Structure 1
C-alpha cells in the first residue's frame, strides 16, 4: 500500500519536522503489545495467546486459527478446505464419531452457537465460546479438542460420505441471488488471479467425487503447527493453560519438507472493470465503485505508521458517509442508502480497496451510480474544518467509551482480536495504550492531511464498478458503456 505509507510519512514529516524517506525505511516507533496477553511460540512453530479475563465470570473462549483457506486448493480440490472444516465435528482421535458434540452439549456449549467455525479464502477459524470453566477438566477437554482439530482428525470414509449431502444442502441454501451473481462475476473482477475460482463452498462435482485420501492429503499438507495459532481468553489460570498447551501441542511434528504457504497476488488492472450481474432474487439494486490498492504489509502493521494511516482513512470515510447520510433525508436523492469503507478487496488478503456503495431506487441503478460518484469527487476536493471537528469528536467519543468500558470487554471480543493479530498482524496494544496514543495523535493531525487521502485513493486505473441488479420486467440493466 505504497500510497498510504507515503501519506503517513508525510504526516510524520509535518508533525515532527523531520526528513523521512520511505526508501530508507524510516518509520515511527513500534506499537507496544498489551502486557495483559501472554504470547508464546513452540519449537514446532505453533503460536499461542493466553489472557485472564473475568467478563463474563466463570467462562472462557478457546480458538484455533489456521492460516489456511480455499485459495490453497488446486482445481481438483475446490471445496476441500470447507469440507475439512465440517469434518472437524465428525470424529477425532479423542472424540470419535459424535462424542465431541455430545460432550460440548453436556457442559452447555451448543453446536452452531458456542461451538462453530468458518472457512474463508485465506483462513479457517474454529472456536468454543462461553465455556463454563470452573472445573479444570473442562478446560483440558477444550484444549484437547483444539489439539485434535490441529492434528488428529479421523476422517472416517463413512462420515465423509454422510457429509457430502450436508455440504450439498448448505450449497443449495446459499445458492441465492447474491451468491449466484458472485459466482458469475468473480472471474471478471479477478482477471489473472487464483481468487477468481476459489469461493470456499467449492464445486459440487468435487464435493461429490473426491477420493477419501484427497481430503487426508489436504489435511496433512496444510493443517500444521507453523500455520496454527491457539487463543485462550477467560476466567482461567494463564500459567496452567500455558503448561497444558506445551504438553499437548509440542509433540506435533513439523515436516521439514513442508509445502510453502503462498499468498497469491491480485494483479493491478488498467482502466475500469465493469462487473454487472442480475438475478430474479435480488430485491434491491446495489452499485459499488471500488479502487484497488496494495495491501498494507503485515510486517509494518506493528508501527504507528499503520495506526495513523487507519485513523486518517477512517476520518475521510466517516466524513464522506456523513455527507451521503445527510443526502438520504432529501426525497430527490436517488438512493435509499450509501456509504464508503476501506478493507480487503472482495475475498483477497493480498489486495485492499476503497469502496463506495449505493442502494438504488426506482427502475435504474444509473442515477445512484451518478450520485455516489459525484459525491466521491466532491469529497476529493476536501472537507471543511467543521466537518473534521465533528468526525474527530465522534471518533474520540467512541474511543473514550471503549476505554471506560474496558473492565467489561468480553473474552470473545478479545479472543477474536488476538486471532486477527495472529492471522494479519493487526496491532494489539490494549485499550489503555490505544486511548492514550490516539487521543494525542488525533489532536495533532489537521484537516489538510485528511484531505490528501481520497485524491490518493481514487484514480482511473485499478477501478471497478460492480452491480448487483434485479432481473425483472421494467428494470433497466446497463451495459459497460
Structure 2
C-alpha cells in the first residue's frame, strides 16, 4: 500500500495545479454514442468509414473460464463454440450460412475468443449497404447475449471439435504456461483454470453443467454491444434499444466475483521444463495493487500509464544495446508494467538467454534491475523515450481520420472490460504534450525504483 501511495504521489505532483480536474474521469470521445439499458446492457456506437460501407458488430462479456465450477472446467470456451451452432433466430449453422452468402467468412470475420476473465464475439467487415443486413447483425448479438440454443445433439457433436482444438493447442508454450500458473498462484482459481479445460470433462460433462454456466453468467449487466462503422448511429441505437430491452434484468444483477491471487512474503519459484521448448526465458514478476477504477480513468491514470510506458522504452533500449554485442549472453530482454490478473498488476522483468548462457543472462538481468533500482535512468535516456512516446501519439493523431473500424471497436471493448480510457486521439495528443514536459527525471525514477521489491515476487 505504501508503494501504491508513493506512485500516486508522483502522478499527483505532475497534474496538481497544472492540469484542471485531475480527479475527474477523462472525457469519453464525443464521437461515441454511449449508453446503458435498464437491464444493465452497455452499448458503444460510432460512425466511421474505414472501410466504407462496412461495420464491426461485437459483444463483450465480463466473464470467462475463471468463473467455472470444477465440473465446468473448459465450458466457458465450449459455450463460445456453441454460439455458432444455433440460436433463437438463427437455428443450426444459420449465423455462418447467412453471413457467408454475403462473403463474410467464418473463422476470419465471424469469430470469438475466450480468456480467463473475458469472452468476446465479433462479426467483422459486415456490409452496411442494406438495413436488413445491419439488423441481422444486431439480431445475432442479441441472440448471443441470452438466446443460444444449446441443443444436446449439437453439444455432443462439438465435443470432438474441442478435443481436436485441445490437441492443436497442446504446445510446449501452452504446457509450460499452465504449469507456471499453478506454481505462481497457489490457492487461487487462476492456478486451476486454463480456458481449454480438462479433456475428461469436455468428453463427459452433463448438458446441465454447460447450461448452468450460461444461465448464471450471460446476463446484460455483464455485457456490452459495440458497433463501429459506416452506419446510421441514431437508427442503430434505436434498434439496440428495441431488440435488447426484451432481455430481463438478471436476478444476479451486479454480481461478478473477482478472484484474488495471494500476496507473498517469500519469493515463489517456478521452474518449468518441456522437451519441445524452443527457447528459455528467465522472468521475474512483481505483483502490485491496481489503481482504483476512478483513478485509472482520470488524468492520474493517464500519467501513470505513460510513466510506465517511458520506463519500458528505456529498459528496452538498454537491453537492445547490450544484445547487439557479440559477447552478450542473451538475445533480448524487456521490462513492462501491466495487468497480471483482474485485480492485480505486475512489473514483468525478463531475459531470453543464449543457449548455454543461462547463468550469465540471469546475472545480466539482476544487474540491470539493481542498476535501475539504485540509480534510475539518465536524462538523455528519458528525453529519447519522451521523443519516441510523443511520436507514437503524434502518428495516431495524424491518422485519426483514417482509423480502422476494428481498431476503434477493440478500444471500446478494452474500455468496458479493462477500464481503458477512450478520450480519442486529439484529446490524448494534447494531454500528452502537456504532461511530458512536467515529467522530471526524478519523478520517473521514483516510480522505477519502486518496481523491484522483496515481497510479492
- Structure 1: state its 5+ residue gaps: 19-25, 464-481
How do 1:386-401 and structure 2 match up within 5 A?
386-401=380-395
Secondary structure in 1 aligned to 2:148? coil
Q: Counterpart in 1 of 2:282?
A: 287
Q: Any conservation in 1 of the 2:10–2:446 contact (CA below 8 Å)?
A: no
Q: Counterpart in 2 of 1:3?
A: 3
The CA deviation at 1:100 is: 1.0
How do 1:397-476 and structure 2 match up within 5 A?
397-463=391-457
Q: Counterpart in 2 of 1:361?
A: 354
Q: Counterpart in 1 of 2:299?
A: 304
How do 1:182-197 and structure 2 match up within 5 A?
182-197=177-192
The CA deviation at 1:132 is: 1.3
Matched, 1:377 2:402: no
Segment drifting more, 35-44 vs 335-344: 335-344
The CA deviation at 1:222 is: 0.6
Secondary structure in 1 aligned to 2:355? coil
Aligned counterparts of 2:424 and 2:59: Cα–Cα separation in 1: 21
Secondary structure in 1 aligned to 2:183? helix
Picking from 37, 51, 56, the partner of 1:42 is 37
Aligned counterparts of 2:453 and 2:313: Cα–Cα separation in 1: 20
Aligned counterparts of 1:433 and 1:27: Cα–Cα separation in 2: 14
CA-based RMSD: 1.6
Q: Counterpart in 1 of 2:314?
A: 319
Q: Any conservation in 2 of the 1:4–1:309 contact (CA below 8 Å)?
A: no
Q: Any conservation in 2 of the 1:320–1:376 contact (CA below 8 Å)?
A: no
Aligned counterparts of 1:137 and 1:15: Cα–Cα separation in 2: 49
Task: Provide, for residues 11-56 of structure 1, a one-character-per-residue CA deviation record: whole Å limited to 9, x for no partner.
Answer: 43366469xxxxxxx9533211110001010000000000000111
Q: Any conservation in 1 of the 2:14–2:435 contact (CA below 8 Å)?
A: no
Q: TM-score, normalised by structure 2?
A: 0.96
Q: Any conservation in 2 of the 1:31–1:427 contact (CA below 8 Å)?
A: yes
Distance 1:76 1:434, change over 3 A: same
Matched, 1:212 2:207: yes
Task: Provide, for residues 185-226 of structure 1, a one-character-per-residue CA deviation record: whole Å limited to 9, x for no partner.
Answer: 222100121110011111011111111121111111110011
Picking from 154, 162, 167, the partner of 1:159 is 154
Aligned counterparts of 1:91 and 1:211: Cα–Cα separation in 2: 19
Picking from 54, 75, 82, the partner of 2:77 is 82
Q: Any conservation in 1 of the 2:53–2:129 contact (CA below 8 Å)?
A: yes
The CA deviation at 1:341 is: 1.5
Aligned counterparts of 2:229 and 2:406: Cα–Cα separation in 1: 8
Q: Any conservation in 1 of the 2:23–2:295 contact (CA below 8 Å)?
A: no
The CA deviation at 1:4 is: 4.3
The CA deviation at 1:409 is: 0.5
The CA deviation at 1:253 is: 0.9
Aligned counterparts of 2:105 and 2:15: Cα–Cα separation in 1: 52
Q: Counterpart in 2 of 1:472?
A: none
Q: Any conservation in 1 of the 2:4–2:289 contact (CA below 8 Å)?
A: no
Q: Any conservation in 2 of the 1:382–1:451 contact (CA below 8 Å)?
A: yes
Q: Any conservation in 1 of the 2:330–2:357 contact (CA below 8 Å)?
A: no
Task: Provide, for residues 271-329 of structure 1, a one-character-per-residue CA deviation record: whole Å limited to 9, x for no partner.
Answer: 21110111111011111111111122223222101000011111112111101010011
Matched, 1:350 2:343: yes
Matched, 1:60 2:41: no
Aligned counterparts of 1:218 and 1:405: Cα–Cα separation in 2: 42
Secondary structure in 1 aligned to 2:81? helix
Aligned counterparts of 2:5 and 2:104: Cα–Cα separation in 1: 44
Aligned counterparts of 1:64 and 1:14: Cα–Cα separation in 2: 37
Aligned counterparts of 1:323 and 1:14: Cα–Cα separation in 2: 26
Aligned counterparts of 1:16 and 1:336: Cα–Cα separation in 2: 42
Picking from 86, 91, 104, the partner of 2:86 is 91
Secondary structure in 1 aligned to 2:268? strand
Q: Counterpart in 2 of 1:243?
A: 238
Distance 1:46 1:184, change over 3 A: same
Q: Any conservation in 1 of the 2:221–2:254 contact (CA below 8 Å)?
A: no
Q: Any conservation in 1 of the 2:15–2:299 contact (CA below 8 Å)?
A: no
Picking from 230, 236, 239, the partner of 2:225 is 230
How do 1:64-143 and structure 2 match up within 5 A?
64-143=59-138
Q: TM-score, normalised by structure 1?
A: 0.91
- Aligned residue pairs, count: 454
Q: Any conservation in 2 of the 1:5–1:305 contact (CA below 8 Å)?
A: no
